[in-house]
Amino acid sequence: MFGLAPVNRYRLSRPPLAQALGQIRYPLRPRLQTLDGVVPLQERLLELFPYMNQEEIQQVSLLMGPGIQPASNTQTARTWRFTDDAGWALIVAADAVTLSIGSEYEDFEEFRTRFAAAIAALHETTGLPRCDRLGLRYVDIAQMPPGDEHAWRDWFRPELTGWSGGVIVGEGTRVVTSITQTQLTAPPVGDLVGVPYDVQGVVRHGYVPANTMIPGVAPGPIENPAFLLDIDLFVEGHQPFDGEELARQVTLLHDQIDRFFRWSLTPAGEEYFGLEAIT
């Protein structure tokens, strides 16, 4: 997807990662909304996720049109949240399973292992024959040090900070918010060979003020002004619910995200986030 070379392994002592999420969507399995239906899956994943809580989400649909009185219909969808003591969470719904981890994230290998285990357990306990969508999203929120709202201009490449992060902004002018969103699609060639459909992506980046809520990121608004880098790559289309193949594809998506993030940092950003090569 990106014309960027593979990167060598590295670690960050001060990573800006706020949330990493992997998701599989599949044909509706209403039984997964019931306790009896989800227990086999919970038991299969007990070692990785020893705790389970029930959650209910209000879903509102609106009916509107010519000659129709506006009306709404509210339904409650039940999901299950599997967790552990290390910050990992697996959200199980009737049509999707989502693995997430926040700032506790250490490396992709553990993420991939847990994601593959969830896929395998779901297939074994439900017999799902098909995956409809596979996605991976990494949300980085680089909050500014107190008293320095301009650090983001030095940490990230000018291609990302844009004109609002350059000298064109006059002295005394304050950037309130500046977000860019780019949608991408790429055929499965090169390192993506074997993926059954085009890889699609949404990349959001820019400066956001304090108290901003980032959709999909827990638990609440950010405390300080920050630079947001939100990379969401996905493969949409029907394919067999093959655990090994889906884990391979999520690894390919991660490789593309990792290349983009590594490219995004300037030398000042590498120093601030504590980049260290792993040999």
Residue 4 is assigned to a structural domain of this protein: no
pLDDT at 252: 94
pLDDT, one tens digit per residue, over 243-253 is: 999 999 999 99
Contact 240/123 with Cβ under 8 angstroms?
A: no
pLDDT at 69: 60
pLDDT, one tens digit per residue, over 23-71 is: 999 999 999 999 999 999 999 999 999 999 998 875 554 555 555 566 5
If one counts the domains in the chain, the total is 1
Q: Is the pLDDT of residue 89 over 80?
A: yes
Residue 113 is assigned to a structural domain of this protein: yes
Residue 36 is assigned to a structural domain of this protein: yes
Name the band, by pLDDT with cuts 50, 70 and 90, for residue 257: very high
Residue 3 is assigned to a structural domain of this protein: no
Residue 5 is assigned to a structural domain of this protein: no
Residue 2 is assigned to a structural domain of this protein: no
Residue 264 is assigned to a structural domain of this protein: yes
Residue 249 is assigned to a structural domain of this protein: yes
Neighbours of 80 (CB within 10 A): 23
Name the band, by pLDDT with cuts 50, 70 and 90, for residue 194: confident
58 class by beta-carbon count within 10 Å (0-12 exposed, 13-18 middle, 19+ buried): exposed
Q: What range does the domain containing 128 cover?
A: 10-277
pLDDT at 215: 80
